[in-house]
Amino acid sequence: MTAGSRGGWALERGARLVEGGVEIAVWSPTAESLEAVVESGEAKGTYPLFRKAGDVWKALVPRMAAGDDYRLRIDGEDPLVPDPVSRFQPEGVHGPSRVVDPAAFRWTDEGWRGIEMADVVVYELHVGTFTEEGTFDAAIPRLRHLRDLGVTAVELLPVAQFPGERNWGYDGVGLYAVQHSYGGPDGLRRLVDAAHAEGLAVILDVVYNHLGPEGNYLPRFGPYFTDRYRTPWGEALNYDGPDSDEVRRFVIDNARHWVQEYHVDGLRLDAVHGIFDFGALHLLEELAGEVRRVAEARGRRALIIAESDLNDPRLVRGGDRGGYGLDAQWSDDFHHAVHAALTGERRGYYEDFGELRHVAVSLAERFVYAGTRSAHRRRRHGAKAADVPAQRFVVSCQNHDQVGNRAAGDRFGALLDGAGLRLAAALLLFNPYVPMLFMGEEWGETNPFQYFTSHGDAALADAVREGRRREFASFGWDEGVPDPQDERTFRRSKLDWSKLERDPHRGVLALYRDLLVLRRSQGALRPGAARIDVRFDASAGWVALHLAAPGEAELLGLFGFRAAPDGGATELVRVPARVPGSWDLLLTTDDAAYGGQGLAAWDGTHLSLPNRGAGLFRGGIA
Q: Is 270 a catalytic residue?
A: yes
Cβ of 535: how many Cβ atoms within 10 Å? 14
Q: Is 307 a catalytic residue?
A: yes
**Of 345, 404, 353, whose CA–CA distance to 377 is shortest?**
353
Q: What DSSP assignment string belongs to 155-210?
A: EEPP-EE-SSS---STT--EEEEEPGGGTHHHHHHHHHHHHHHTT-EEEEEE--S-
Strands (E), 194-282: 201-206, 225-231, 234-237, 266-269
Among the listed residues 235, 270, 285, 345, the single catalytic one is: 270
Parallel, antiparallel, or unpaired for β 122-125 and 434-438? parallel
Among the listed residues 214, 307, 312, 445, the single catalytic one is: 307
Gyration radius of the chain over CA positions: 25
Give the single-character DSSP code of 525.
G
Parallel, antiparallel, or unpaired for β 56-62 and 45-51? antiparallel
The answer to whether the Cα torsion of 504, 510, 515, 519 is positive or negative is positive
Cβ of 109: how many Cβ atoms within 10 Å? 14
Round to whole Å and give the CA distance between 43 and 455: 33
Start-to-end CA span in the chain (Å): 66
Give the 3-state DSSP-derived string for 280-343, with helices as H, strands as E and coil as C.
Answer: CCCHHHHHHHHHHHHHHHCCCCCEEEECCCCCCHHHCCCHHHCCCCCCEEECHHHHHHHHHHHH
Round to whole Å and give the CA distance between 225 and 230: 10
**Of 582, 435, 609, 432, whose CA–CA distance to 522 is shortest?**
432
Round to whole Å and give the CA distance between 521 and 115: 18
Decide: 438 and 399 in contact? Cβ < 8 Å.
Answer: yes
Task: Please identify every residue annotated as catalytic.
Answer: 270, 307
